[in-house]
């Protein structure tokens, strides 16, 4: 009898231990990597993206996480350096066993990290707008997704808006890198179909300060509008101030990279009327879904900024939606497959998208709005 009672207690103890062990295993966090530029030239994008990732993750965890599991973030600063971006992906997988990575944030970083993600079988959710990032010709295409809007959609929307407002003669001012050249080339390829003529194209180094020669060439071409295909606030500011000095009166359009308070402050009164395509308008004219994240930001004691925060928050929303579809333990391949199955998932940006094995754009043109700088604010154009 004593032996049977001892055996029963042993079996019950073993069973309890197994159940406790299973419970502990279920409580393990879902490990997510973050590779963004929080130093270097792209830090003005990477820092707010990172901060939004943290806020969105805290919000998700406070609500119970994903199937009762917390999300845990591991950060790596790529210093706006493609080599560092690739190294960051390797280190996060090797040291922290992450099952998905948000980033890298620049086009060069994403293209450099793509082959690493392919080799390690971990999906990247890259905020980069550079057109070639999600080109299906890359062998690493199955492992890279864009959290943002393909820049071809941004450029297309800008040229279409120019045509709608009778601005038919267009000049292009672009930075000399993959982002700038790809956007300028795409603009030239679709201009005729949209009813506009590209009358001049000039390029400048990313870190240029003196852009007088390029701005003068644009002025002499007599454009109705100029597209700034740049991601550097100092470079865009140099163009705007030089254009004012030399009497270049064309309407200025820019991409989402210029939706920053630092840009408005830098250009001052010369920036009044500049039209900027943005991913939503979190700070000044938020949609109902954007307003929800604005409240999350305000509750944390911060002031809503702009599209960089929306991108960071949407990256977490995509991860939450994907992880919630996985019945067992999330792995890199399982996360990749789940992301490819997302359609109409809850997100903060306006617009919806459906991903697939052939389509890796987490956001699309339905998330875009064209804003205009008025009295130091980005007001949505009706």
Provide the pLDDT for residue 1: 45
Q: 16 versus 325: which is more confidently predicted?
A: 325
346-373 average pLDDT score: 92
CA 290 to centroid of chain Cα atoms = 15
Numbered ranges of CATH 3.40.50.2300 in the chain = 30-149+286-365, 152-278+369-380
Please give the Cα distance from 166 to 190 (Å, whole number).
17
Question: What DSSP assignment string belongs to 128-148?
Answer: ---GGGG-TTSTTGGGEEESS
Mean pLDDT across the chain, nearest whole number? 90
pLDDT at 23 over 70: no
Contact indicator for 253, 158 with CB cutoff of 8 Å: yes
Please give the Cα distance from 127 to 273 (Å, whole number).
27
Q: How far apart are the first and last CA of the chain?
A: 85
Please give the Cα distance from 193 to 171 (Å, whole number).
16
pLDDT at 22 over 70: no
pLDDT bin (cut points 50, 70, 90) of residue 256 is confident
240-250 average pLDDT score: 96
pLDDT at 201 over 90: yes
Please give the Cα distance from 49 to 306 (Å, whole number).
10
Least confident of 17-21, 56-60, 138-142: 17-21
pTM, whole model, 2 decimals? 0.82
Provide the pLDDT for residue 16: 43
Please give the Cα distance from 330 to 87 (Å, whole number).
23
Angle at 20 between CA 15 and CA 22, to 5 degrees: 95
Please give the Cα distance from 179 to 196 (Å, whole number).
22
Strand-pairing partners, residue 198, are 170
Q: How far is CA 206 from CA 141, 203, 234, 238, 319, in A?
A: 27, 9, 9, 11, 33
Question: What DSSP assignment string belongs to 357-370?
Answer: SS--BSS-GGGEEE
Please give the Cα distance from 306 to 103 (Å, whole number).
18
CATH number of 30-149+286-365: 3.40.50.2300
What are the start-end ranges of the E strands in 205-250? Answer: 225-229
Question: What are 71-113's pLDDT values in tens digits?
Answer: 999 999 999 999 999 999 999 999 999 999 999 999 999 999 9
pLDDT at 9 over 80: no
pLDDT at 312 over 90: yes
Contact indicator for 361, 135 with CB cutoff of 8 Å: no
Strand-pairing partners, residue 377, are 374
Contact indicator for 117, 144 with CB cutoff of 8 Å: yes
State the Cα torsion 230-270-158-129 to the nearest 10°: 30
Question: What are 180-198's pLDDT values in tens digits?
Answer: 999 999 999 999 999 999 9
Provide the pLDDT for residue 178: 82
Provide the pLDDT for residue 288: 93
Pairing status of strand 368-374 against strand 275-279: antiparallel
Question: What are 288-310's pLDDT values in tens digits?
Answer: 999 999 999 999 998 888 888 99
Question: What are 25-76's pLDDT values in tens digits?
Answer: 446 999 999 999 999 988 988 999 999 999 999 999 999 999 999 999 999 9
pLDDT at 15 over 70: no
Provide the pLDDT for residue 10: 36
Domain 152-278+369-380: homologous superfamily in CATH = Response regulator (3.40.50.2300)
The DSSP output letter for 66 is B
Helices (H) and strands (E) in the chain, counts: 12, 12
């Amino acid at each position: 009898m004593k032996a049977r009672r001892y055996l029963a207690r042993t079996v019950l103890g073993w069973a309890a231990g197994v159940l406790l062990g299973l419970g502990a295993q279920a409580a393990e966090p879902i490990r997510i990597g973050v590779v963004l530029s929080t130093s270097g030239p792209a830090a003005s994008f990477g820092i707010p993206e990172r901060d939004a990732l943290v806020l969105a993750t805290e919000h998700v965890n406070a609500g119970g996480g994903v199937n009762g599991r917390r999300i845990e973030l591991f950060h790596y600063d790529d210093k706006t350096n493609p080599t560092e971006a690739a190294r960051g992906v390797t280190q996060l997988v090797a040291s922290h066993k992450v099952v998905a990575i948000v980033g890298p944030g620049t086009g060069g970083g994403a293209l450099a990290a793509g082959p690493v993600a392919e080799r390690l079988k971990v999906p990247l959710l890259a905020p980069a707008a550079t057109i070639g990032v999600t080109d299906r010709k890359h062998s690493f295409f199955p492992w890279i997704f864009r959290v943002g809007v393909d820049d071809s959609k941004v450029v297309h929307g800008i040229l279409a808006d120019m045509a709608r407002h009778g601005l038919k003669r267009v000049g292009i001012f672009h930075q000399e890198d993959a982002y700038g050249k790809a956007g300028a080339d795409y603009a030239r390829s679709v201009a005729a179909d949209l009813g506009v003529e590209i009358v001049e194209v000039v390029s400048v180094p990313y870190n240029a300060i003196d852009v007088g020669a390029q701005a003068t060439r644009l002025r002499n071409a007599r454009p109705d509008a100029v597209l700034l295909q740049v991601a550097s606030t100092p470079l865009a500011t140099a163009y705007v101030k030089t254009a004012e000095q030399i009497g270049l009166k064309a309407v200025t359009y820019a991409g989402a990279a210029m939706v920053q308070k630092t840009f408005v402050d830098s250009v001052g009164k010369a920036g009044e009327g500049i039209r900027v395509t943005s991913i939503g308008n979190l700070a000044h004219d938020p949609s109902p879904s954007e307003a929800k994240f604005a409240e999350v930001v305000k509750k944390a004691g911060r002031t809503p900024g702009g599209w960089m925060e929306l991108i960071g928050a949407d990256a977490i929303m995509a991860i939450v939606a994907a992880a919630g579809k996985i019945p067992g333990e999330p792995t890199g391949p399982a996360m990749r497959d789940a992301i490819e199955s997302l359609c109409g998932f809850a997100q903060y940006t306006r617009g919806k998208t459906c991903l697939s094995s052939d389509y890796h754009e987490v956001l699309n043109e339905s998330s875009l709005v064209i804003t205009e700088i008025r009295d130091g604010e980005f007001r949505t154009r009706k």
